[in-house]
Homo-oligomer: A and B are copies of this chain.
Amino acid sequence: MKSFVGTNTEASGTEDRYPSRVGDKPVIIERRDPTVYSEWSEDSPLTREQSAFYETNGYLFLESFFTDEEIAEWREELRRLQEHYRTRDAKEVIREPGGGEVRSIFAVHDRNDVFRQAARHPRLLNIVRYLLGGDVYVHQSRINYKPGFAGKEFYWHSDFETWHVEDGMPAMRALSCSIALEDNYPFNGPLMVIPGSHRKFVSCVGRTPENHFRSSLRKQEYGVPDPGSLTALVRESGIETPIGRKGSIVLFDCNIMHGSNSNITPYPRSNVFIVYNSVANKLQAPYSGQAPRPTYIAAR
């Protein structure tokens, strides 16, 4: 497995190749980093087609990646945590807007034995190391509950936009793995991605107030892409909803534009969400010039 030495500039320190929340007008900037950081070979943990699909589309769906036993264990832990936090507060716990239901629990890879093991799953890590070209660490992890009846939407966003501006992630050399803990349907608010959008960076308008992160995890207000840019991206390549049975995973590039609709069905859509970042892409000071977010949201 060989990294493309020299093609990324993650060590550039303060140079901001992806400025956002600095202007009055949205701008679309071409990606200046690779998407797949290794050269494919027979020994790679993905097929040539899978690797090419990820490079072109910015995501890869793998049906039944985890076994029913693994999922059963994680679901049990998920329910235990939900019960635990029903009546207790913790800074890692985010609740649904306008309600007390648990929406997300952060840093589960760090504070929970079960999900620490999940994040280190060897078969998964192999693929992640291949895509990111070498050693990785967990930048962020969380459980998203997306409960039935009341799961609200996540509006369109590029994770990288936030991680860059608010956390100081220099380059696009990170990816997310979303593990479905429930069967996903077209109608229970599945992840929607705009294929190929990872190759464009939508620079958003507006500035970020200090310490807005707690409310932003409930409802986004900053770093929101404008309707014109979204329409342009969708016109180019449409929308995909990679869905499948529980145990399926979606790997997606840190800069792919994604979101999800609300979920009024009785089917919850819980998932575990683990973000891996290359060790060569460690966080700098946030490009917003503001204080960094807490480490349970962005590991340093």
Contacts and interface: CB of A to CB of B under 8 A. Distances in A.
A227 interface: yes
B261 A230 contact: no
A262 B227 CA distance: 16
Given A149-B227, A149-B230, A185 B265 contact: no
A262 B265 contact: no
Contact of A156 (B155, B241, B259, B264): B264
Contacts of A261: 187, 189, 261-265
A260 B231 CA distance: 22
Contacts of A263: 261
Interface string A261-280: 11111110000000000000
B239 A153 contact: no
A241 B153 contact: no
A60 interface: no
A186 interface: yes
A277 to B, nearest CB: 27
Contacts of A190: 187
A261 B277 CA distance: 33
A217 interface: no
Contacts of A127: none
A148 B155 CA distance: 12
Contacts of A265: 192, 234, 239, 261
Given A227-B149, A227-B266, A264-B261, A239 B189 contact: no
Contacts of A189: 261
Contacts of A230: 149, 266
Interface of A: 148-149, 152-153, 155-156, 185-187, 189-190, 192, 227, 230-231, 234-235, 239, 241, 259-267
30 contacts: A148-B227, A148-B231, A149-B230, A153-B264, A155-B264, A156-B264, A186-B186, A186-B187, A187-B190, A187-B192, A187-B239, A187-B241, A187-B261, A189-B261, A192-B264, A192-B265, A227-B266, A230-B266, A231-B266, A234-B265, A234-B266, A234-B267, A259-B264, A260-B264, A261-B261, A261-B262, A261-B263, A261-B264, A261-B265, A262-B262
Given A186-B186, A189-B261, A261-B265, 19 more contacts: A148-B227, A149-B227, A149-B230, A153-B264, A156-B264, A185-B239, A186-B187, A187-B192, A187-B239, A187-B241, A192-B264, A192-B265, A227-B266, A234-B266, A234-B267, A235-B266, A260-B264, A261-B263, A262-B262
